Amino acid sequence: MKTRLLLSVGLLATLFAGPACKTLETGDKTARDRYQEDLSQVRKEFEAAKKADLSEPEEEINEMEVTVGVSGDVNKRLEVVYDTLKERRGKNPAVQGFTVQVYAGPSRSEANEAKEKVYHTLENVNPELQYIQPNFKVKVGQFLDRLEAQKMYAQLREEFPQALIIPEKIYLK
């Protein structure tokens, strides 16, 4: 009984679904191709289009020659900012370099301890303590080349296993 019911449902589905899945042949026209309607009677006409005489071609406009005055022009303000940055960069030119970071963490006391430890480990170095929220960082040296930084890194690595060579801007004096 079940198989008979399933067969009849399958047969009905095939009969109804078959014509719906028919594909169009190349010679057949779709309903969209056959549809035609003239909408010129309901189309709005604008006065500017009526006034314009479209019979004569307009002369060609060169985009480079056209200058448009804009109120609140930003260029003047940007030029002032650009000139200020240019002056500052001239006073302190910066280059991309490297430094050795021996400590990075939230504790100021640990950062100061690391700084003192660097003083005792290496002579003639000046470690720098920075606070970049939320961490304190102790950095040693400014090098233009990673190979130069590698020498100091090798000396500090015994005392500071977490030390890293990091890229940093170096301001030339």
Q: Per residue in 109-166, pLDDT tens?
A: 999 999 999 988 888 888 999 999 999 999 999 888 899 899 999 999 989 999 999 9
3-state secondary structure of 42: coil
Residue 60: both structure tokens together:
């060609």
Section 56-80 average pLDDT: 59
Average pLDDT across the chain, whole number: 77
Q: 53-71 burial, b if ≥16 CB within 10 A, otherwise e? A: eeeeeeeeeeeeeeeeeee
H or E element that contains 168: strand 164-171
Residue 128 DSSP one-character state: E
